[in-house]
Amino acid sequence: MADAETFEMDALWAEFHNAVNMTSQELAAWLRTSSAGEESEQPPERAGSEQGRGVLAILRKRQMDLTDADIGLMHDVVDTVRTERTTGPRREVPEPAWRYRLMSLGHDPLRAEPDDLA
């Protein structure tokens, strides 16, 4: 049983890192930029969405240090990136907003798409 769980975790880890094609430094900079306003800026630890901060935290962890919440977020991010890449920008979600939303999860759609997400 443990071998099956290890295999599933390894597969999720690989899928997550294929979907998240930004480095932790790039994502941290994007989260700070995207949450900066004209008058104020969020402290770095509060910049960006909760999901974005969660992705950033996962990128800074080793696989063995993941929590159940991290694993759930990893599944959500992989599913969201896959779905959004399949459907692409829509009239209700213009291209820049679509790209920026994906970048807040650590995925820049302008980078080459991994075969796994096609």
pLDDT per position as a tens digit, 23-65: 999 999 999 887 554 444 555 555 568 999 999 999 999 999 9
pLDDT value, residue 39 = 47
Q: What is the pLDDT of residues 83-102, one digit of tens each?
A: 999 998 888 888 899 999 99
Is residue 2 predicted with pLDDT exceeding 80? no
Taking Cα atoms as reference points, which of 36, 39, 17, 18 lies closest to residue 28? 36
**Could you tell me the residue ranges of all domains in the chain?**
2-31+48-117
